[in-house]
Structure 1
Amino acid sequence: MTSADTGIRRVRTLAGDPAWLVTRYDDVKALLADQRLGRSHPDPTHAPRVSGSAIFGGPTGADPAAEDVDRVRMRRLLAPVFSARRMAALRPRIETIVDELLDAMFARTPPVDLHEAVSFPLPALVISELLGVPYADRDDFRRWSDDAANLVDPDRAELGLFSLWQYMRGLVEAKRAQPADDVLSLLLTTPHEGTVMGPDEAAMLGAGLLFAGHETTVTAIDGGVLRLLTNPDQRAALAADPALLAPAVEEILRCALPPPRDDDEQRTGLMRYAREAIEFDGAQIVAGELVLLGLRTANQDTVYFPDPARFDITRMPNPHLSFGFGPRFCLGAPLARLELRALFAALLHRPDLRLAVPPEELRPRRDILTGGLQTLPVTWSN
């Protein structure tokens, strides 16, 4: 895309509802910080939807004021969890987890599915320890997360989200009886304006954190490994100069957003609802209408990303919008970066991986909100 392309246009979502799609980098960035847009809708039952997913598929409530209050409270509670000091303290543990997972993978006879051996367990282990969720329950919360993120089966998505909430509700009760040094206990014991969070709300927030804390990073790991394995010049450059690790991770994150279903770009975007009438770039957005902020297309805007289709680990600056921008910037961004840097740094000192199948045989997860790959078979020479 170029800056001369139409920046906003009418589209139909995967759910079949009308929406405005915003594609240019500057426009997406501006609207990410625009308080006239939000996640709530005055009539949630009849609001236009992005998809059948129970997570980011439709509105979160009916009251914009309550939405803003809840967002501010959540960010104040969670900011210390993802602070630079907390991340520094977590780094040795994450590096240990990475080494253990890679040791186990390379001890096996190739080919091995890296998605199952590393991509899923690394962020799942980290977020489980951070939240206070038993990792032994990973198969259950993984299944419920996938169901909740299903784009095409609303009944399955609702049941998945309810099951995830119900599971977290049980953990919340256990933490209320015996608090520990974890995020769930923090939510239940830290007062905000004189009150602490109730168990139902803590369970829902915990379910959201559990989902976001592993699903999106799984996709980034799959994508990063795949791009390095299919761009040997970039892999060689990283091996020759470990100082490229940080920009390499940013380039992985720029490219990490899932591709649209069936190459239909108009179905993708971060959802927002107009809280009031908005005139934007010649478009008249009516209050209550759905606006899709095209993070993926913004990350390919040639004004900021020359030759955007090229995977380039030396790309600097790299002001991608994968974590959003403004008051809703992703709180978990430091944790995701920490996990990715730890993993790709460790891979530099391991046997050279290569794909065990041709790239065209890899199967994407098309019906899941976060995308990613179903499997990522890799091999190596012992």
Structure 2
Amino acid sequence: MASDFDWVYTLMDSSRVSTFLISILLIVYGSFRSLNLEQQSALANGEKDGRTDKEKKNSKGNEGSSAQTDVDAFQAMCLPVGASISLLVMFFFFDSMQTMFAACTAIIASIALAFLLLPMCQYFMRPCSNSATLSRLSSLPLCGRFSAPELVSFALSVSIVFVWTLTGHWLLMDALGMGLCVAFIALVRLPSLKVSTLLLTGLLLYDVFWVFFSSYIFNSNVMVRVATRSADNPMRALARRLNVDNNMINDAPKLSLPGKLVFPSIKTSGQYSMLGLGDIVMPGLLLCFVLRFDAHKKLQLKNGECGIPGPASSLDRVKYFHCALIGYFLGLLTATVSSELFKAAQPALLYLVPFTLLPLLVMAYLKGDLRRMWTGIDLLHPNITSPSKHIDV
């Protein structure tokens, strides 16, 4: 009888707890980082609008548009198709292209990890921000418009990637995966609930098909096989091409690409918990959108755009972000229980999408925000009149 409930104890294993905590922290941090970037961009645009034409012309080289990118409805529908094509390419041609996959992943992960480390570098380098040495460093011709903290964070990320290629350690791979998650959540925006629904529904179907039904067509679980394969180390390939004889480089292990987070169990040797980056990033984009919407509503109330507010009900006190975050936790918990009960890989989005999206739709309908969330909001220009602006909230 006790063995029938062993799965309950596995939920409290260190690998499972780490998966829950890290995935939630990445979503929360990435969402607030995105909101901060957007508010900074809005502030910069407001200051720019108040300048004279001469000042705008003089500062044109020093200011850029926001680095964030919006996903439209067409892109949301095409993304599952593109992901399927990429999955098939990796499934059929992984052996011949594995070095290229590893090298491209290392380059992209270096940039993403530098983005993750940047706030830490800015914090610790703040006392030295007026240093003449740092000022000269950030003004070098090769550095361009990069600040000293940006250069330091990039140097740190390149160092971590280099050590990862030599050791293949799971902890460094997780660090690269965390950087990719935060960068994607912070720099890619879903402009409306409509686009969010299209994207998450398409990815849910994509996840279910490639996990449950791909084995009937390709005689193998395509998703699991691609996720668990290791690539040839690009350092060894480069050393062979350059005829470099170095024992450390020649003994460099194969690399498990950072398309997932892996957390080994402290108690049970050889047991680990694995969660794909897409299972963090895609629901994270939805939570990032609802966090922006919460901030938009708060700004409206602060500016008195909604008139005299009535007494707040218990439902009005619940933020959309909190609702979606609780739903994500419950969805991840359900996916974990299912994987333990069925002893097989589960498409996490099958549980994460309904647990996050459906409560948001119901809550938005009850609070009267559904039409405005469905069509989208513009946090950068909150004073622009839109067709849904006068809906009661």
**Is the TM-score greater than 0.5?**
no
Higher share of residues assigned helix: 2
Higher relative strand content: 1
TM (norm. structure 2) is: 0.29
